[in-house]
Structure 1
Amino acid sequence: MNAYVPAPAEPVEPDGLGRFARRWAEAIGGTSDGPVPHLTEFLERLTRELAAALRDDSAQARAEEVAAALVGADFHSPAAVRRTIEVFADGFLDEIRGEPGAEDEIKLRARLGQLLGGLSAGYAQALRVRTRTEQEAVQRAALRAVRLADDDRRVVEARFRAVFADAAVGIAMVDLGGRLLEVNTAFARMLGFVPEEIRGRTVGEIIGDSGHGPTSSRYLDLLSGGRDHFRTETTRVRPDGSRLVLDLSMSMVRDDDGAPGFLIGVTVDITERRRLQDQLWHESRHDALTGLPNRTLFAERLAERLAEPACGRLGLSFLDLDGFKDVNDSLGHAVGDQLLIAVARRLETAVAYGDRLVARLGGDEFVVLDDDCVGEAAVVGPAEAILAALREPFQVGGRELTISASIGVVDSRAVGADPQALMRAADITLYRAKAEGKSRLARYDPRDSARQITQHTLATALPAALTRQEFFCDYQPIVGLEDRRLRGVEALIRWRHPQLGIVAPNQFIPVAEETGHIAAVGRWVLAAACRQAGEWAAANPTLTCYISVNVAVGQLRRPGLVDDVMQVLTDGGMPPERLQLELTESAVLGDDRGPVGELQRLADAGVRLAIDDFGTGYANLAYLTRLPVRQVKLAGEFLKPLRTGSSVDPKHDRLLSAIITLAHDLGLSVTAEGVEHQAQADRLRALGCDAAQGWLFGRPGPAEQVGRLIARQNSQP
């Protein structure tokens, strides 16, 4: 009888997840024992729950619950399991990518692996429970039949004979000597016999492992009346050579005085389910793409090995592919997947021998565990072999691709027997290897600086910081040097970390670029700054100053910046000419392949563009003439010699004057950064500099501080 599946309260307009649920329903619709009402609606609810779980990192646990719900709805056949996993592996991420709040590709793929593992494990557990429940129900019915009163015995025996003969499970009556008195057709057929061939033979002869081995004492105790129930799982080979796995349950039937009478045995052929469970166990602990052990199996093996009393010296090499995200972004995820497969095979060839375990933890992260390392060379051996193996290009999809890896190497003797501490040390060391230039290995040092640990902490906490609203903006005024009137306000992002306190952007912006979160951080600060500018404009209708926002190099190089900017302006109802984007010159100068077209689109829409920290990078002045910028911002380094009011070096004074004059000749305004002293402001004004910002005019602070400045300015004639 099918489990009840409730109908939805109201129909849901089909979207990506709704369409996925329909494909899922089509895939498994014919695999249930009978028709399931409202199947699509039922699966759509499960689909949306799994989509939410994929985003909040609870995919594995929720997938196990979903698998149990499917088995409860009679979708317990091997076909239902296989098709469910295939559907999710092939198409689920395509729908998730289009959902609001979808995270980066590498994290989604890792969580999809956890989801598939959860489905596999959940199916296996639910199938075991279902088998046991069915078996015990048959056995209870048989026991009730033989224990009823004499006046009902003939009716009950007739019913029992019908159940005995027609039951799908095997049923046998066994005497106290262990010989089969009677068996039904199902029992004989699953063993490869007819009933007449096995009556009178012992249970041990027919089924095996019941009179010897680890279960013998419990079986003999049952025959002697010392216990009332015995259960085991046993394997035998049929006469035709095929392998059979049986779940055997035997119960004692006693007479009215409580003396042992005979046994009733119930057997279920679980060969297919055992094969499926083995397959599901394998799939839940192996990466679907590369076939390597996954994070779950690696964690189990690591914990088991560290827990052994005689555990020796373990070496752990944690590697991450350098620039893999660029491969995905430029060539597509299909090519990226092929490259990951090729890397996995090369790792197996290079380091997977002896007691070494190679696993893929998710995305482009792999780990090698080397058991019982002898000597320092053995600890770093796998990492050195990996670096050497990756030097050869890969042939992927008709292309020759070159990829390198950064590797963090940890010796268990330096960390201890805590698996989590060992992995954390490996993660920190890997981060240091990347920071030192990539394509190299780094050894774990217990004296690693607090800065490295802090950077690692920021990298792991950054994805959730946006949702927890830990970011905020300080604002610094930009004033005209002639009239000291407000020209603009620069928005400066800060991170209020719950453990580290206020974190400056120069600490976490490089981390955001490295981890691929710079686009989300950039969108947040842009929206926050424009929203605040809108509030100032609403309170001061005559205000004409612009809001200036920094654009990181990684943000500028990613597609979608123009669309993000225009969407924020549209949502906030803010005129484009009131927004200025500050770009570092290293990101836009000297590269004919740079994002000139994207910048031109922004300039054509009216957005102001400025070159930040001008004079500190690679300044190709000829290229500057082709950029649609309105302003250059002089780096604070130029202002240090001006603190006394006159330049200590005439050459420096002439250089500064030349830069300002050149900018004006190109139609650009000039803003000086880092102005702290009145002498600096006076000299800049004398040289023709247009505007300035710095502590002399106001330190970065909350929006209210700028609001008071605007109010004072409006009150002046």
Structure 2
Amino acid sequence: MSQQQTDVRLIKLINTITVCVSIAVGVALPGLYFLTKFNHQHGEVAAFAHIHGSLVTNAINKNPHMWRFEEHKLMALMADFSNTEHGGVTHNKYNSVHSLLNLDRSAILRNDEAVLPWPVLSHEVTLYDATKPVAFYRVEQTMRGMMIETLFVAGFGMLLALLIAIPLRTLPLRALRQSQQRLVHMAHHDILTGLPNRALLDDRLNQAILYARRYERQVTLVFIDLDNFKTINDSLGHDIGDELLKETAERMKQTVRQTDTVVRLGGDEFVIILFDQPEKAESITNTLQKVRDVIAQPLAIGSHTLRVTCSMGLATYPEDGEDVTTLLKNADAAMYQAKALGRNNFQFYTPEMNSKLQERVFLQQGMLDALAKNEFVLLYQPQVHIQTGQIIGVETLIRWQHPELGLIPPLRFIPLAEETGMIVQIGEWVLRTACKQNKAWQALGMPPIKMSVNVSPRQFKEKNWALIVSSALQESGLEAKYLELEITESLIMENVERAIAVMNELQEMGVQLSIDDFGTGYSSLSSLKHFPVARIKIDQSFIRSLPGNDEDQSIAMAVIALGHKLKLKVVAEGVETEQQRAFLYENECDEMQGYHFSKPVPAASIEQMFVKTIRS
């Protein structure tokens, strides 16, 4: 049953109840009054009849044979009855008529010859002469006065029924209308922030487009996504995240004009409709700069002081689309471009963005099935000892063997996996597969080597990450000392205390740890000494220009010296030339990997490398 049908039924029910209550009050009040007065008057008439009949009976008994011949005495007696009070009640109050009747009901005496107004209430009693009925005594009263009073009471009852019916009908209908208004508001507004939601976005944007079309103006749609909101929400809790969203929504609402509309699509995504815009882009740019600045202002929530930035994408009617769907899609594409360019900026839509967005959606949908369809494959890049040239380990690298796009490198899908959360499942698959592969190599008789697996920031934040690592080792049968997990400096520095706690837990298992891309994360040396790591890897950006670049030489030499001082092994990444190898050899770097030795290769190629090494 629809809400409209339910409301119609409620209105009918309210009207029915109102009518029933009104009728009940309008009829019951005069009816009750009439019954009360009728019983009172009927009792009074009967009492008068009995009292006065008794008096007449006493007179008869005094002269039982002559009473009918002394009518003048009886008449005087009945006149006295009419004009005297008994018990404080006057007999003729209701225009009483007293009559003495024969046994055939014909009148013997009557104290008043006037005709009583209709309706008349009467009561008679039997008169006895020595237990023998000889006559009847009748008392009559008109009910005209009582009927007139009842009519007045009925009028008052109708007025009372009206006074009851008006609020009885008005208040429930008002409550129903308010409930309907609340439901409509809830259907078109976000519960958390009170902003319009997607349902109202379509209506407001359509109105803005119609106005712009009529008066040859423009409408700008701004798609906004808060940067790193998920990190705040996950680390500080949803209550803090909700307060941040509400305050950010209020700030945006206060920044734009009243004619503009701020919409919350969901999560940390917002849309602003800039209504009636001129063709000049300067005013739009100024507005967006104000929005970006106000969002970036520090925000105090409880004991936390938070600061968030935002990425914004713009699409303008009519250049970038002439309907709601197209404008929203193009603004979304521009927003993703803003994120790709470093976040905390805004980008105007260009047609080239659509192809990137389409690829993004295509890859995102494909990733959902890639694990189930075994489309991910692992390659292994050897890590060699700089002195002996022997393979001492391999780094696990993932590729996506897409059925249509071919072999996709990680840079194309790993950031998307991080953003969507798919990296947790993918990373766990990589870990378990790598452990099984290392154990399989040992079963083939290959000398034990360490298997390095990269850990994403999203994986490392999982509360049960250490348990997942332990489960992968138990499942594969691999000893923990042959597994090395590579984590980045930036990952550790997000929450140093928790990172050290997790790293200590992994080290207690026997798992080795290394810091990947060392030198790019700006970790403090005071924190570095507390990290339970066995290796640091010099980022390839410092190796690429060796040995010709003096600055890179200094950095590489400093990292090697620092690592040795901290009793850590130093691994150089991206070694591609003999000159680079020679420089690292001379400066006592411990290990290295790169195309100079081998590209990432399948597991079978690693087996062949060891066979050649054994034969040589």
Specify the TM-score bucket, using the shorter chain as the normaliser. Answer: 0.5 to 0.7
C-alpha distance after superposition, 1:541-572 (max 9, x if no partner): 55411211123456556755434433433343
1:351-390 counterparts in 2 under 5 A?
351=256, 353-354=258-259, 356-376=260-280, 377=282, 379-380=284-285, 382-390=287-295
SS at match of 1:353: coil
Shift of 1:580: 0.8
SS at match of 2:277: coil
2:458 is the counterpart of 1:532:
no
Shift of 1:349: 3.1
2:513 is the counterpart of 1:609:
yes
Shift of 1:485: 3.9
Larger Cα-atom Rg: 2
Check conservation: 1:316, 1:379, Cα contact below 8 A.
Answer: no
Question: Which residue pairs with 1:284 in the alignment?
Answer: 187
SS at match of 1:705: helix
User: Which residue, 575, 594, 607 being the options, matches 1:694?
Assistant: 594
1:122-201 counterparts in 2 under 5 A?
125=2
Distance 1:408 1:650 in 2: 41
2:229 is the counterpart of 1:295:
no
Q: Which moved more, 1:540-549 or 1:591-600?
A: 591-600
Distance 1:654 1:341 in 2: 49
Question: Which residue pairs with 2:148 in the alignment?
Answer: none
2:321 is the counterpart of 1:416:
yes
1:131-530 counterparts in 2 under 5 A?
240=166, 279-302=182-205, 306=209, 310=214, 312-351=217-256, 353-354=258-259, 356-376=260-280, 377=282, 379-380=284-285, 382-390=287-295, 393-397=298-302, 400-446=305-351, 470-481=375-386, 483-496=388-401, 501-513=406-418, 518-530=423-435
SS at match of 1:430: helix
Provide closer, same or farther for how the CA distance between residues 280 and 709 of structure 1 changes in structure 2, counting only shifts above 3 A.
Answer: farther
Shift of 1:412: 1.8
Check conservation: 2:507, 2:513, Cα contact below 8 A.
Answer: yes
Distance 1:548 1:687 in 2: 24
Distance 1:398 1:619 in 2: 26
Provide closer, same or farther for how the CA distance between residues 433 and 544 of structure 1 changes in structure 2, counting only shifts above 3 A.
Answer: same
User: Which residue, 469, 472, 476 being the options, matches 1:568?
Assistant: 472
Provide closer, same or farther for how the CA distance between residues 531 and 406 of structure 1 changes in structure 2, counting only shifts above 3 A.
Answer: same
Q: Which moved more, 1:288-297 or 1:435-444?
A: 435-444
Shift of 1:362: 0.6
Q: How many residues matched?
A: 477
Check conservation: 1:406, 1:433, Cα contact below 8 A.
Answer: yes
Check conservation: 1:314, 1:379, Cα contact below 8 A.
Answer: no
Distance 2:279 2:22 in 1: 60
Check conservation: 1:590, 1:623, Cα contact below 8 A.
Answer: no
Q: Percent identity?
A: 33
Provide closer, same or farther for how the CA distance between residues 638 and 367 of structure 1 changes in structure 2, counting only shifts above 3 A.
Answer: closer
Provide closer, same or farther for how the CA distance between residues 300 and 649 of structure 1 changes in structure 2, counting only shifts above 3 A.
Answer: closer
Provide closer, same or farther for how the CA distance between residues 570 and 303 of structure 1 changes in structure 2, counting only shifts above 3 A.
Answer: farther
Provide closer, same or farther for how the CA distance between residues 397 and 624 of structure 1 changes in structure 2, counting only shifts above 3 A.
Answer: closer
Question: Which residue pairs with 1:577 in the alignment?
Answer: 481
Shift of 1:609: 1.7
User: Which residue, 576, 600, 609 being the options, matches 1:709?
Assistant: 609
Shift of 1:456: 7.8
Distance 1:191 1:383 in 2: 62
Aligned-residue CA RMSD in angstroms?
A: 4.8
Shift of 1:332: 1.6
Distance 1:681 1:397 in 2: 54
Shift of 1:513: 4.6
Distance 2:344 2:553 in 1: 44
Question: Which residue pairs with 1:226 in the alignment?
Answer: none
Check conservation: 2:208, 2:276, Cα contact below 8 A.
Answer: no
1:537-556 counterparts in 2 under 5 A?
537=442, 539-540=443-444, 543-553=447-457, 555-556=459-460
Instruction: Return 5+ residue gaps in structure 2 as ranges.
Output: 27-163
SS at match of 2:485: strand
Amino acid at match of 1:486: I
Shift of 1:333: 0.9
C-alpha distance after superposition, 1:270-307 (max 9, x if no partner): 99988766654443332222222222332354357657
Amino acid at match of 1:472: V
SS at match of 2:439: helix
Check conservation: 1:545, 1:578, Cα contact below 8 A.
Answer: yes
Amino acid at match of 1:576: A
Shift of 1:608: 1.2
C-alpha distance after superposition, 1:595-640 (max 9, x if no partner): 3333233223211122334456647666544432222334445655
Shift of 1:404: 3.7
Provide closer, same or farther for how the CA distance between residues 563 and 307 of structure 1 changes in structure 2, counting only shifts above 3 A.
Answer: farther
Instruction: Return 5+ residue gaps in structure 1 as ranges.
Output: 1-123, 136-167, 171-184, 198-237, 246-268
Check conservation: 1:319, 1:366, Cα contact below 8 A.
Answer: yes
Distance 1:426 1:240 in 2: 53
C-alpha distance after superposition, 1:199-246 (max 9, x if no partner): xxxxxxxxxxxxxxxxxxxxxxxxxxxxxxxxxxxxxxx96166689x
Distance 1:504 1:425 in 2: 27
Question: Which residue pairs with 1:633 in the alignment?
Answer: 537
Distance 1:452 1:524 in 2: 27
SS at match of 1:288: coil
Shift of 1:442: 3.1
TM-score when scaled to structure 1?
A: 0.55
C-alpha distance after superposition, 1:665-687 (max 9, x if no partner): 64333433334455655665566
Check conservation: 1:352, 1:358, Cα contact below 8 A.
Answer: no
Amino acid at match of 1:428: A
SS at match of 1:344: helix
Shift of 1:582: 2.0
Amino acid at match of 2:276: D
SS at match of 1:415: coil
Amino acid at match of 1:694: G
Shift of 1:490: 1.0
